[in-house]
Amino acid sequence: MAPTALRVVEAHARVYRRTWRGSVISSFAVPLLTLVAMGTGLGRLVNDSGGVAGGTFIEFLAPGLLAATAMTTAAGEASYPVVAGIRWSKSFHAALATPVSVADLIYGLFGWLGIRLVFNLVIYAAIMAAVGAATWGAAMMAVAPAVLTGLAFAAPITAWVSTLESDTSLSSLFRFGIMPLFLFSGTFFPIEQLPDYLEPVAFLSPLFHGVELTRAAAGVAGSPFLLWWIHAGVLLALFIGGTIAAVRNLGEAMRK
Amino acid sequence: MTDSLVEARDLTKHFGAMVAVDGVSFEIEKGEAFGFLGPNGAGKTSTMRMIASVSPVTSGHLRVFGLDPETYGPAIRARLGVVPQENNLDTELTVEENLLIYGRYFDLPRSEIRRRITELLAFAQLSDRGKSKVEPLSGGMKRRLTIARGLINRPEVLILDEPTTGLDPQARHLLWDRLYRLKQEGVTLIITTHYMDEAEQLCDRLVIMDKGKIVGEGSPRGLIEKHSTREVVELRFPPGTQERALEKMGDLGKRLEILPDRVLIYSDDADETLSEVHRRGLETETTLVRRSTLEDVFLHLTGRSLVE
């Protein structure tokens, strides 16, 4: 990373110091409440009928939620702040009047997001271990694939958001993109439970690959669904391809 | 090689089929205050963005500090200060934090930035506002902060796009005063404006732009001398009588400019011209004798007024 990209990371960190309070609810409270409600409430019901993948429901759910949380955090950070930088506060325009380049803005954004994901997910994984959903070692192992999942979402989303002429379609990203993926990517139940005709659709979901990889790292039996390097390959390809497209698209948006 | 900091020849900028800048040529010398005067949409901002090395040149030749922005964008930008039309400050941060982040973009050490922040806040008359958020600041204060931010890297050239648009008269004068001081310190100023008084106040030399082209170039005084008379008589007639009055005025002054609501007579002796108007028995509602301004130059060169 160029030193100017590191300066962009630094700027994000400085802004975050002022604004972190607003993100606490979505970063921690929502996944935690989901884990408690589903893991204990629904979990008892599931465990009574034999559990999932040879373990308890919370052992199955927790790493899946780790990956899904990475996805939602990343989607948030890769969309609204990018529109703000281009259109609302125009902070990208301000930065580009300095030696900072468009590529620096993108690498800096993803670099900062990576740091935030590691920070958030380590806390989440610690809670996972504390409530007995995984061993400490397995929980920490699961952080890396979850971070990769987040980045695999962030890059294509930033690339797409950079092409938007207005911000009206932004909310549909969450309503019609993130929300269905959250529900149908094997986070809450194995995709074999889906009707046969829906099962191949899950393969197209990037979150499915993230969930499987994260679950495998946490040592859940039956994961990964495919070979681990296929899942990792899909995520890496999304991240790298998305990053290239994001630099190109943002460059075009900023030249207007 | 002359002292030119910026050198443009046949500089052109297209946005799709739209021609924003249509083959302009100019040179900006070290230490001068150079202006781009013209109405909104004349191509001033597009020209500035090319000089600021953020917008690629469509065709033509452009050198900033003798360097090609295409290849040396970051190196050029490191030596420039930019004050955009809109204050793109981070309103969630404090005044100092805005300067700090910006200074870091130039890779300056934090201790050095802290020193400069103290200086710049004094210069921008914001010393007691360092710790406050940007959001509640007045328009004039935000503008001065944006200028202070543009100076954090001690630029050789400061580019200001419409620096006083939207400010009240007092805030404008304070800002002009700050810009004078910068000029005295040797900073080259490049200013776009659609205010002729601002161009007259601040600029040593300027180009007048209209529809992407340069239609006039020179010092404010030189342009007035070349394209206008020393004085102007402005006449307003009672509603509906301007047409008839014009029939008796064809030979008055050196030139007439007929606007929907008034008639301007360009003359070297306005008092004498006005007496002649009265001798001819023309009934006027109001009359005004004044010196020619850049507004008159623009009107003469383009047939339109600057602020419509």
Residue B307 has pLDDT above 70, yes or no: no
Contact B34, B225 (CB under 8 A): no
In this prediction, residues B117-146 reach a mean pLDDT of 95
Comparing CA positions, the residue from A110, A88, A90 lying closest to residue A9 is A110
* pLDDT(B265) > 80: yes
Chain A nearest CA to B97, separation (Å) = 8
Q: What are the distances in angstroms from CA B172 to CA A253, B177, B202?
A: 32, 9, 12
| A256 chain-B contacts, CB cut-off 8 A | 15
Bridge partners (DSSP) listed for residue B18: B15
Q: Is A22 on the interface with B (CB under 8 A)?
A: no
> Tens of pLDDT along B160-219?
999 998 899 999 999 999 999 999 999 999 999 999 899 999 999 999 999 999 999 999
pLDDT of residue A49: 84
- Give dist(CA B230, CA B270) in Å, integer: 9
Question: Which among B299, B305, B306 is positioned nearest to B228, based on CA atoms?
Answer: B299
Confidence of residue A103 (pLDDT cuts 50, 70, 90): very high
Give the residue carrying structure tokens 């648009």.
B165
Query: Which is more confident, A131 or B26?
Result: B26
- Asked if residue A75 lies in contact with residue A157, where contact means CB atoms within 8 angstroms, the answer is yes
Instruction: Please give the ipTM for the structure prediction.
Output: 0.90
In terms of Cβ atoms closer than 10 Å to its own Cβ (0-12, 13-18, 19+), residue B92 is middle
Whether the CB of B67 is below 8 Å from some CB of chain A: the reply is no
Confidence of residue A2 (pLDDT cuts 50, 70, 90): confident
Average pLDDT, chain B: 93
| CA–CA min distance A211, chain B (Å) | 35
Helix A143-161, helix A57-83: angle, nearest 10:
30
Mean pLDDT of A7-30: 87
Percentage with pLDDT > 70 across chain B: 98
Is A163 strand, coil or helix? coil
In the prediction, which pLDDT does B261 show?
87
What is the mean predicted confidence (pLDDT) over B3-23? 95
CA–CA dist B122, B128 (Å, integer) = 9
Instruction: Specify the higher pLDDT residue, B281 or B117.
Output: B117
H or E element in which residue A128 lies: helix A102-130
- pLDDT tier for residue B308 given thresholds of 50, 70 and 90: low
pLDDT tens-digit series, residues B92-103: 899 999 999 999
Contact A100 B105 (CB under 8 A): yes
A contacts of B102 (beta carbons < 8 Å): 94, 98
**Is the N-terminal amide bond of A224 cis, ω within 30° of 0?**
yes
Query: Is it the case that residue B42 has pLDDT exceeding 70?
Result: yes
| Distant-in-sequence, close-in-space partners of A16: CB < 8 Å, separation ≥ 6 | A112, A116
Sign of the four-CA dihedral B221, B225, B231, B233: negative
Nearest to B211 by CA among B38, B7, B56, B16: B38
pLDDT of residue A1: 66
Would you say residue B306 has pLDDT above 80? no
Q: What is the pLDDT of residue A120?
A: 93
Residues of chain A found within 8 Å of residue B84, distances taken between Cβ atoms: 90, 93-94, 97
Rounded to a whole number, what is the distance in angstroms from the first to the last CA of chain B? 41
Residues B148-165 have a mean pLDDT of: 96
**A182-186, B125-129, B142-146 — which is least confidently predicted?**
A182-186
pLDDT of amino acid B111: 97
Over residues A57-74, the mean pLDDT reads 95
Q: Cα B120–B126–B132 angle (5° rounding)?
A: 115
Q: CA B198, CA B202: separation in Å to the nearest integer?
A: 6
